[in-house]
């Protein structure tokens, strides 16, 4: 599942980079929780929650069977 998630994030990444942001995969739990860290401009953007839910989570749910939720973590 991790490889599928990385491929899906690679599809999303150019859109984030266009706005000087990015996303990094931190962990995938056994129960389908994907933990990511938003980077660059996405870290401080007031719309980062929308990016996480409407962009990243929606894409991962559509592309990768077994993903249940995406969470943003600060590491």
pLDDT in tens, 37-68: 999 999 888 999 999 999 999 999 999 999 99
Domain regions of the chain by residue span: 2-72
Distance CA(71)–CA(36), nearest Å, equals 6
Whether pTM > 0.85 for this model: the answer is: yes
- End-to-end alpha-carbon separation of the chain, Å? 22
Alpha helices in 1-75 (DSSP H): 2-18, 41-44, 48-50, 58-63
Query: Which residues lie closer than 8 Å to 43 by C-beta, 6 or more apart?
Result: 21
The topology under which CATH files domain 2-72 is GMP Synthetase; Chain A, domain 3 (3.30.300)
């Amino acid at each position: 599942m991790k490889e599928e998630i990385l491929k899906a994030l690679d599809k999303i990444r150019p859109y984030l980079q266009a706005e000087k942001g990015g996303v990094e995969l931190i962990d995938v739990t056994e129960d389908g929780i994907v933990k990511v860290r938003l980077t660059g401009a996405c870290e401080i953007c007031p719309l980062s929650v929308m990016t996480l839910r409407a962009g990243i989570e929606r894409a991962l749910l559509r592309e990768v069977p077994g993903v249940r939720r995406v969470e943003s973590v600060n590491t």
